[in-house]
Amino acid sequence: MSYRFQAELWVYPGENPWYFVTLPFDHADEIEELTRTTSTQRGFGSVRVRVTVGSTTWATSVFPDNKAKSYVLPMKKQVRTAERLTEGAPVDVLLELVDIPGA
């Protein structure tokens, strides 16, 4: 199962800030339904994914965010640097679920 979308890169502030993109609501709803019924959610409701942004592909997880009512995808520094991403920039994402049987 895969999803293509564009989302804005945002930062969760702090001493060591974290960068994220928020998944579109329709994708988040479908992912939540699929992972809940297949028991593939992990700690904190996270879901393992493979992500491609530009020419960079990596394995990570998306995490539910109650405030956003969606999932958030962390964007590690290595990816932001390689793809020249900055806060507020639109990010084209290909996100693939890795634990869904038959996906």
- Please check the confidence at residue 103 and state whether its pLDDT lies above 60: no
Q: Please determine, looking at this structure, whether the domain spanning 2-97 carries the CATH number 3.10.129.10.
A: no
pLDDT of residue 37: 62
- Reading phi first (left if > 0) and then psi (alpha if -120 to 50, else beta), residue 70 is in beta
The predicted model gives 41-58 an average pLDDT of: 86
pTM: 0.86
pLDDT of residue 93: 98
* Domain boundaries along the sequence of the chain: 2-97
Q: Report the alpha-carbon distance of residue 29 to residue 23 in Å, rounded.
A: 10
User: Any idea which of 1-10, 37-46, 49-58, 93-102 has the lowest mean pLDDT?
Assistant: 37-46
